[in-house]
Structure 1
């Protein structure tokens, strides 16, 4: 089942969407639906990861000082070599 609703965008965005639709031989509605699907999937994943981190913190599951220092050292070393 699909649901339909109206989305308002600035004229400039609608014009760009129309150009992309024409170049890709797809409809404006198809492109907009795909963009919304992509956004929802990305946000759903990100919010789940954030919640998992909060849950870990609530359980007191933190990295040790040595684990943290090891990660920081890895990136400092890489930055110095660049």
Structure 2
């Protein structure tokens, strides 16, 4: 995989844990860090995309009032 180099600072404790994980899994620290960053970035982007979609819905008027579903929920509770 072609890539670019980044430098990060981590605590000594985290570096020791990463070293242990690298030895135990027989993978390099670089591979482990790249995998961890990739998972983190994908998760965070999914959250940001969801928030942005929600804001877009609000700005476009694609919302319902809180009272509507709560009224339906109260009715279902009363029937039960």
TM-score over 0.5 (shorter chain): yes
Counterparts of 1:23-38 in structure 2, within 5 Å, are 23-38=24-39
Shift of 1:37: 0.5
Larger Rg: 2
User: Hey, what does 2:22 align to over in structure 1?
Assistant: 21
Give 4+ residue runs of structure 1 displaced > 4 Å after superposition. Answer: 70-73
| TM-score when normalising by structure 2 | 0.79
| TM-score when normalising by structure 1 | 0.77
**Which ranges of structure 2 fall in alignment gaps of 5 or more residues?**
none
1:45-76 Cα shifts (integer Å, max 9, x gaps): 11010000000011122223222x16866xxx
RMSD: 2.0
**Which ranges of structure 1 fall in alignment gaps of 5 or more residues?**
78-82
